[in-house]
Chains A and B, each alone.
Chain A
Amino acid sequence: MRKITFLVLSLTLLAAGTLFANGQQDKEKEIVLKWPSIWVGEDSKAGAVAELVDQFNADNAGKIRVEVEAQPDYDGYEQKIRTSIAAGIVPDIFTMKLNPTTKAYYESPLLMDFSKELNGGWGKDFNAGTVAQATVDGMVKSLPYEVAITPVWYNMDLFKKAGVSKYPQTYAEFLDAAAKLKAAGFIPTSQMTGGSNAWTSMLWYSHFLASFGGPDVYANPFGTDAYVKAAEVLLAMYSDGNTSIDAIGGDAGVSGGHYLAGESAMFINGPWYIGRVKSEAPAVYSATEVGPAPAAGNNKGAMVGFLQTNFAAAANADDPEKAAAAVKFIKWMTKSENVAKISAASGAMFAVKYDSSSITDELMGKFINASNDASFTIPHLEGVVTSDVITEFGQALGKMALGEATPEEFVEMLKKVQDQ
C-alpha cells in the first residue's frame, strides 16, 4: 500500500513538472510578448483591453503575439514587478504607477527608453505635459497612459433633504452644511484610515494641501505650514460626527459603501468608480455631482489629478525585433480610437488625445468638466512621496483621529519616515 502511495505521489510530481512547465516554450518565427496585466477579471477595462489585444494578435498573426498574464491582485502585482526587476528580469510589457518609489526603475538599463520614439512624432499623440511628467533625466521609461482626477463626489439629494441648497465652496460653508446634514441623519463625508494608503482620506488631504499650499505645495518641505493646516482640516473631518465611526480602520469598501448606500453626502474617488455607482446605486448615481473640495485655504478650485498608470517595456537590447514589436503593440494601445474604446467602456481617462464625444455617460461628462474647470491641478500625496510615507499616513491618521496625536505630530510622523 505504501509503495503504491509512493508511486502515485511520484507520478503526480512528475506530471506536474512536465505537463505544466509550459511557460518557457519558445516558438520560432513568431515574436511572443508577455504582458502581466492588471486589467483583467473585474477590472472595468478588462473587456475592452482583451478585445484590443485579440485584434492586435489577429492583425499580426504569425509575426507578433501578445500573451496577457492575468494579475488580479494590484498590490501583489506591484510586488511581482519589483521582484522581477530586482532579479534582473523585466516583463516584455507591463504597467506601473509612476511615483518616487518606482522612479528608481528608470535607473535600470533593462527598461526601454521611449524618448526617441516619442520625439519621432508619437509624442504629439499625448496631452500636453503628460510626457514631461513621465520624463526623468531626459528618459521616458514609462509612457503616460491612464490619467485620473479625483474630485469630491457629492450627493445633491442628501444636500437638498438636509436643507442645503448648494455644494459648499468654502470651509465655513462646509461646516454649516455638515451640521445640517448631521441633523438630517446623514454622514457628511466618507473617510478611511485603512487599506495600503488610506486612499479616500489621502485624497481629501491632497485637496486641502492644494487649497493651503497652491500649485507648488509639494515644492515646500514636508512639515511646513500647509501640511499642518491641511492636517487640522482632515482631523475636523474625523471629528464631531463628520464621518462614520467605522472610518478608523475602514478600507475602500467602507468609505465607498457609505456613499453607495446613500448614507454619506461627500466622498472622493476617481472615474473608475462611476460604473459601480451606476450599477449598484442608480439613485446615488443620478444625484451625484463632482467638484473640488471646499476651499479651506486661499486657493480655490484646485483639483487633484495624476498619471494613474504608465506603460513600460523591457529594453530587449539583444533582440531589437522584440523591442520593436513591443513598441508596435504599445503604439496600438495608444491609438486615439483604441483609447476612446477603452474610455467609453470603462469611464477611465487617458493621457492620449482622443475624441471623448463617444462617451455618453453623464457623470463622466461631469468629470471632464471638473477637470476643465480646475484652477490648477496637483498630484495626490501618494504620487510625490515614497511608499513607506504613505503606509505611515494611514497609521498616523488613525492615531490623530483617535486623539493620540495632534496635527503637528501627524505631520511630524510623516516627515520622520520621509527623512529616514
Chain B
Amino acid sequence: MKALLNTLKWIILIFFLFVALYPLIWLLLASFKTNNLELQQNPFGFPEKWMFVNYYTAIVKAKLPALFIHSIIVAFSAVFVNLLVASMTSFVISREEFKGKNVLLTVLAAGILLPIISFMVPYFTIIQKMRLYDSLLALILVYSAINIPISVFLLTSFMDSIPRELEEAATIDGASFVQRFTKIIVPLSQTGLATAGTFCFIYSWNEFIMALLLTSSESSRTLQLGIRFFTSQFVTNYTAMYAAIVITIVPSIIVYFIFHNKIISGLTAGAVKG
C-alpha cells in the first residue's frame, strides 16, 4: 500500500513537472524549426533540421547584445532603487511606532492590486514633464516605483520577524537610528531583500508595455521591445522570435536559481511569528 502511494505520488509529481516544463521545452524545440509552416504542421515534434541560424538571426536582427546591456542596466538599477526605497520605508513601518502606520502600510500594499494599465497616463505625463522620455532612467524609475508596494509588503513582513532585542541591545551600545538600519536590520534582512529584489528584477526584465510607452529610440530599447521586431501587424517570424525569447529568459532563470532558496524563506518569513 505504501509502495503504491509512493508510486502514485511520483506519477503526480512527474505529471506536474511535465506540465511546468513542457512550454519551455516546446519553446526550445520551436526555436530550432525551419519555418512557420513546420511549426504549423509539426508543432509538437522535433525539428526536421536543427536551424541554429534562427539564433544567429535573432542576435543580429534584433541586435540582442546591445539590448541585453540596456535590460541589465534597467533591471539591476531598478532593483537597487527599489530596494533602497522599500527597505527604508519598511524599516520605519516595521520598527517605529507612529500614528497611522497600519493605514500607511495598507495604502502602500493596495498598490499591488492596481492594474499597471491604470498608471499609464500618469507615468507618461510625469516622465514627459521630467524630460526623461526615451531614456533608460525613465524605465528605471518607473519599474522601481511599480514594485515598491510588493517590496514594502514583503520586507515589512520580514522585518517584523527580526527580534526587537537585537535593536535594543544596539541602542544601548550607542547605535543611532541610521546605524540600527544599516548595521542591524539590513544585514539581517538579506533573505527578504533577495526575495523582493528577485521579484523586481523579473518584472523589470520582462516588462514590455511601459518600455513601449516611455521609449522610442534604439538607444533606450530593451530586450522585450527588441523581440517584438520579429512581428508586424500581419506577419510574424515565429522561429527567430522564439530563439530570441529563449535567449532572453535565461537571465531570469539564472536569477531565480541563485536566489530561489532565499525567495521561499523570504516569502514564508513572518508566517509563524511567536
Interface residues of A (CB under 8 A from B): 9, 12-13, 15-17, 19-24, 34, 36, 38, 40-44, 46, 69-74, 76-77, 79-80, 83-84, 86-89, 252-254, 257-258, 260-261, 269-270, 272-273, 275-276, 280-281
Contact = CB atoms under 8 A, between A and B. Distances in A.
Interface string B113-141: 00000001100110010011111110010
A20 B125 contact: no
Nearest to B138: A21
Interface in B138-171: 140
Contacts of A275: 235
8 contacts: A13-B140, A43-B232, A73-B208, A73-B225, A79-B120, A89-B128, A272-B233, A272-B234
B37 interface: yes
B132 A72 contact: no
B236 A253 contact: yes
Contacts of A257: 36-37, 39-40
Nearest to A36: B216
Contacts, number: 152
List the 8 shortest-distance A-B pairs measured between CB atoms, nearest first.
A23-B134, A257-B40, A69-B216, A17-B137, A43-B232, A41-B229, A21-B135, A72-B228
Contact of A16 (B36, B73, B236): B73
B234 A273 contact: yes
A13 B128 contact: no
B85 interface: no
Contact of B238 (A22, A84, A253, A269): A253
A32 to B, nearest CB: 12
Contacts of B259: none
A372 B36 CA distance: 33
A16 B74 contact: yes
Given A20-B220, A80-B213, A253-B238, A41 B232 contact: yes
Contacts of B77: 9, 12-13, 16
Contact of B41 (A16, A46, A86, A261): A261
A8 to B, nearest CB: 10
B232 to A, nearest CB: 4
Given A13-B80, A42-B235, A253-B236, A76 B74 contact: no
Contacts of B74: 16
Nearest to B131: A24
A42 B238 contact: no
Nearest to B234: A272
B102 interface: no
Interface of B: 35-37, 39-41, 73-74, 76-77, 80-81, 120-121, 124-125, 128, 131-137, 140, 208-209, 212-213, 215-220, 225, 228-238
B36 A83 contact: no
A24 B233 contact: no
B17 to A, nearest CB: 25
Main secondary structure of the interface of B (DSSP, over half): helix
Given A12-B76, A23-B135, A73 B37 contact: no
Nearest to B139: A16
Contacts of B219: 20, 22
Contacts of A253: 36, 40, 236, 238
A261 B76 contact: no
A16 B212 contact: no
Given A9-B77, A257-B36, A260-B37, A22 B232 contact: no
B37 A281 contact: yes
Contacts of B120: 79, 83
A146 B35 CA distance: 29
A316 to B, nearest CB: 16
Contacts of A19: 136
Nearest to A45: B232
Contact of B228 (A73, A80, A87, A254): A73
A9 B84 CA distance: 11
B124 to A, nearest CB: 5
Nearest to A74: B233
Contact of A72 (B40, B76, B133, B229): B229
Contacts of B35: 280
A80 B212 contact: yes
A20 B71 CA distance: 13
Given A43-B235, A76-B212, A83-B124, 18 more contacts: A13-B80, A13-B137, A16-B140, A17-B135, A20-B135, A21-B134, A24-B133, A42-B235, A42-B236, A71-B212, A73-B231, A83-B120, A87-B121, A89-B124, A253-B236, A261-B37, A272-B233, A281-B37
Contacts of A21: 131-132, 134-135, 137
Contacts of A41: 228-232
Contacts of A70: 216, 218, 229
Contacts of A89: 124-125, 128
Given A16-B137, A83-B213, A270 B36 contact: no
Given A17-B135, A70-B229, A72-B228, A87 B128 contact: yes
